Amino acid sequence: MEKTADLRLISGKTEEKEEKKKASRIPSELPICPSELCERAKTEWRYITPILFDYGLINKLDRAVLSEYCSAYALWIEMQEKIANTDNVIFVTDNGYKQQIPEVGIMNKAADRMIKACDKLGLTPYSRKDVQLGGESDDGEDILD
């Protein structure tokens, strides 16, 4: 028999809890690193993937968002290095206008992409506020076992 929304609320079984339970049924399997990633992105993949996997924050279905994070991270670092080796991040155009070098804009866009992916992966304090790391799950089982 289908419970009404009021009965689900009274019994403590909200749709959100039911959705989380369904999501936890996805087989826990480490995602495979895409060969298309640059070497720096692959290095970040090898660093962050085991950590996220050990905490139960990712599975094989998260390959795309993890790829986005790693490629944005690699581009962000590359632009940081280029900017660090530049004498001035502002130049004057032929018309006399001051403008920042393109690397600054590329770095900022990469940072935006990286933070968006971080939020989806639970890599920011705010995105982890509702994630239970360690301890017991809603059904009393230790989620790290």
> pLDDT tens digit string along 46-86?
999 999 999 888 999 999 999 999 999 999 999 999 999 99
3-class SS at 116?
helix
Beta bridge partners of 136: 142
The pLDDT of residue 33: 96
pLDDT at 107 over 80: yes
pLDDT, greater one: 9 or 43: 43
Q: Name the residue with higher pLDDT: 17 or 89.
A: 89
Q: Is the whole model's pTM more than 0.75, yes or no?
A: no
Whether 21 has a pLDDT exceeding 70, the answer reads no
For CA atoms 23, 48, 118, 138, give the dihedral sign: positive
Task: Please tell me the distance from the alpha carbon of residue 127 to that of residue 48, in angstroms, as a whole number.
Answer: 16
